């Protein structure tokens, strides 16, 4: 739980909090929006760079794990130096330790010593700021950005005017803009899905599986004829990370989702979820699913199984999985080949109900300006650079002539980046760009090194996920968020405990109705209604 130390003691009552947040949002003539704002802003015109600011900004943000092989701080990377040169703004970065962002964020908030800018998930979903952006504004942790975007962020303002869908995504129901967003390009929305050893399929004279029955045939063959100890495996991070593969074949999901009627549902209590559990239990009992799947909490364990022929199929990332394993596997075995499989269905020719598909706005890698910032105008101008033409090229491709060249106006990574003998393309480019963060993603950026990856993107995109994935940026009210926080943690914990027991056979599936009853007693209908109300409000923005 996030604690706000001395901040919180001075705040009493939801009415006062909400009134304060509305006043902040509307403020454009006084306080930050008036005379004080004009005096603190640097002299040059918004949208013109370099600014040549005298002040140094501070930014708290995760550092890409690939970059840690070269430097310990973003400021020391070629990207950090080039960003400072092009914007004229010096920034001091603080990076939470890898895997400890949430804990260190909580400590940061409790410290009452906030930097100018914080990159975090403010949306209020799982693993984000409790209560969401309205609560963060009410807690005086971050500020509404409306007057600042209007005056000092011409690049983002133009994008929001052109893209009303994006505009809806990055503000609250009351109209407060709260972040500078990470914006994915259209070809960056799908990047994870089922993949399988094609060289094994060829050897066994089997086709890429499409239906649930196909998968059963293939996994049995992998076990019996290839000797695979774990024919199918996947990461387990808070849940079995299969992106609803197999489960989606039964028209449900292992999470909240939107049904065909536009209603929010909690998949794990659907009657058909029992059918999905029955399938996974059968496969687990027959040794087709990794018996230690719940222990695969980091990528190293899955790497080992995929590369030592213990596992022949998984659900994982396009670059960080398929591309990386192909690159490594082929060095040991030239025949090693992974290809995408469609999200499985019960019937051949049926369109998959759900799969992995994100939205253009990625809340997890977006930046807010803190209420403690002494110069929010400068922070906003620094952040806005990423949404202009030059800034977008820097964030996506790096420095022209060094990490990329322009060929007839099209950026292409240089051999220095793409063909380094020691480091992968992703490792090299992490020095010159910001792989994740608040900027406008470029569809011309492509980390794929194998044609199988390009094909995978097309195959995994053929689902109805766009209709059924619940947005993570809907914004429950402060009171609603408190109710969700009170109920959801216990519900999710119990659901996951029972999911593992059902699949592993430690609890009989005869207890499914009892399990559903327990989740209902824990308040799932209340949570679902809150999400439904928030989803309806989002659709009306």
pLDDT of residue 42: 54
Nearest to 341 by CA among 248, 458, 230, 221: 458
pLDDT of residue 28: 37
User: Kindly report the CA angle at 465 between 533 and 244, in degrees rounded to 5?
Assistant: 100
Q: Residue 460 is inside which H or E element, if any?
A: helix 451-461
Give percent of the chain with pLDDT exceeding 90.
81
Pair of tokens at residue 19: 């009134």
| Residues facing 410 on adjacent strands | 407
Nearest to 253 by CA among 245, 333, 67: 245
Query: Which band of pLDDT confidence, cut at 50, 70 and 90, is reported for residue 23?
Result: very low
Query: Which band of pLDDT confidence, cut at 50, 70 and 90, is reported for residue 20?
Result: very low
- Residues contacting 492, CB < 8 A, separation 6+: 126
Which residue in this structure is represented by tokens 């995504």?
A: 169
pLDDT of residue 126: 60
Query: Which band of pLDDT confidence, cut at 50, 70 and 90, is reported for residue 280?
Result: very high
Residue-wise pLDDT tens digits, 442-489? 999 988 889 999 999 999 999 999 999 999 889 888 889 889 988 999
**What value does the mean pLDDT take over residues 170-199?**
96
Instruction: Give the 3-state secondary structure of 463-508.
Output: CCHHHHECCCCCCCCHHHHHHHHHHHHHHHHHHHHHHHHHHHCCCC
- Residues contacting 425, CB < 8 A, separation 6+: 413, 417, 418, 447, 449
Using only the alpha carbons of the chain, give its radius of gyration: 24
- Could you tell me which residue, 213 or 19, shows the higher pLDDT? 213
Task: List phi, psi (to 5°) of 283.
Answer: -65, -40
Burial class (CB in 10 A: 0-12, 13-18, 19+), 162: exposed
pLDDT of residue 477: 87
Pair of tokens at residue 154: 């011409």
What distance in Å separates the CA atoms of residue 356 and residue 173, rounded to the nearest whole number? 26
| Residues facing 313 on adjacent strands | 196, 232
What distance in Å separates the CA atoms of residue 176 and residue 368, rounded to the nearest whole number? 12
Residue-wise pLDDT tens digits, 90-99? 999 999 998 8
Task: List phi, psi (to 5°) of 14.
Answer: -65, -35
Pair of tokens at residue 488: 């959801």
Name the region of 349 (left: φ>0; alpha: ψ -120 to 50; beta: rest). Answer: left
pLDDT of residue 19: 36
Answer for the pair 283, 249: CB distance below 8 angstroms, yes or no.
Answer: no
What distance in Å separates the CA atoms of residue 227 and residue 332, rounded to the nearest whole number? 19
Residue-wise pLDDT tens digits, 305-361? 999 999 999 999 998 899 999 989 999 999 999 999 999 999 999 999 999 999 999
- Could you tell me which residue, 83 or 2, shows the higher pLDDT? 83
Looking at every residue in the chain, the average pLDDT score rounds to 91
What distance in Å separates the CA atoms of residue 200 and residue 508, rounded to the nearest whole number? 34
Answer for the pair 397, 440: CB distance below 8 angstroms, yes or no.
Answer: no
Answer for the pair 434, 167: CB distance below 8 angstroms, yes or no.
Answer: no
Query: Which band of pLDDT confidence, cut at 50, 70 and 90, is reported for residue 127?
Result: low
| Residues facing 469 on adjacent strands | 257
- Residues contacting 350, CB < 8 A, separation 6+: none
What pTM, to 2 d.p., does this model score? 0.85
């Amino acid at each position: 739980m996030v604690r706000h130390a001395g901040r919180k003691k001075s705040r009493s009552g939801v009415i006062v909090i909400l009134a304060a947040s509305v006043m902040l949002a509307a403020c454009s003539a006084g306080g930050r929006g008036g005379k004080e704002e004009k005096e603190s802003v640097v002299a040059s015109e918004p949208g013109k760079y370099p600014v040549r600011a005298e002040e140094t900004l501070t930014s708290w943000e995760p550092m890409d794990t690939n970059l840690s092989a070269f430097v310990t701080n973003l400021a020391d990377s070629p990207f950090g130096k080039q960003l400072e040169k092009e914007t004229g703004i010096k920034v001091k970065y603080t990076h939470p330790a890898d895997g400890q962002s949430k804990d260190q964020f909580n400590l940061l908030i409790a410290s009452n010593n906030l930097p100018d800018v914080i990159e975090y998930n403010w949306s209020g979903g799982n693993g984000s700021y409790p209560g969401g952006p309205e609560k963060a504004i009410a807690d005086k942790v971050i500020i509404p950005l409306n007057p600042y975007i209007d005056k000092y962020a011409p690049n983002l303002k133009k994008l929001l005017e052109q893209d009303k869908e994006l505009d809806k995504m990055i503000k609250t129901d009351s109209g407060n803009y709260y972040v500078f967003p990470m914006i994915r390009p259209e070809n960056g929305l799908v990047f994870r899905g089922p993949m399988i050893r094609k060289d094994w399929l060829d050897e066994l004279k089997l086709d890429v599986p499409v239906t649930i029955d196909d998968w059963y045939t293939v996994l049995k063959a992998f076990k019996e004829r290839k000797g695979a100890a774990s024919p199918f495996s996947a990461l387990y991070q808070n849940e079995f990370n299969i992106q609803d593969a197999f489960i989606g074949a039964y028209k449900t999901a292992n999470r909240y989702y939107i049904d065909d009627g536009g209603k929010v549902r909690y998949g794990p209590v659907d009657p058909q979820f029992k059918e999905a559990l029955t399938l996974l239990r059968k496969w687990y009992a027959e040794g087709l699913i990794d018996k230690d799947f719940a222990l695969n909490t980091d990528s190293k364990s899955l790497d080992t199984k995929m590369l030592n022929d213990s596992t022949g199929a998984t659900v994982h990332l396009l670059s960080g999985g398929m591309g990386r394993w192909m690159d490594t596997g082929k060095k040991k075995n030239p025949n090693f080949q992974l290809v995408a499989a469609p999200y499985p269905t019960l019937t051949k020719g049926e369109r998959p109900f759900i799969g992995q598909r994100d939205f253009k706005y990625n809340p997890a890698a977006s930046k807010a300006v803190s209420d403690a910032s002494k110069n929010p105008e400068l922070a906003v101008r620094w952040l806005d650079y990423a949404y202009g033409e030059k800034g977008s090229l820097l964030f996506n491709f790096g420095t022209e002539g060094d990490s990329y060249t322009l060929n007839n106006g099209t950026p292409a990574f240089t051999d220095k980046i793409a063909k380094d003998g020691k480091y992968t393309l992703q490792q090299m480019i992490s020095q010159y760009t910001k792989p994740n963060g608040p900027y406008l993603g470029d569809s011309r950026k492509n980390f794929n090194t194998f044609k199988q990856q390009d094909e995978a993107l097309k195959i995994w995109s053929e689902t109805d996920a766009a209709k059924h994935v619940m947005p993570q940026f809907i914004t429950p009210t402060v009171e609603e968020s408190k109710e969700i926080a009170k109920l959801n943690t216990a519900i999710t914990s119990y659901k996951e405990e029972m999911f593992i027991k059902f699949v592993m056979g430690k609890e009989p599936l005869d207890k499914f109705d009892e399990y559903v009853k327990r989740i209902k007693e824990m308040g799932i209908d209340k949570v679902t209604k809150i999400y439904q109300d928030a989803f309806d409000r989002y659709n009306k923005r």
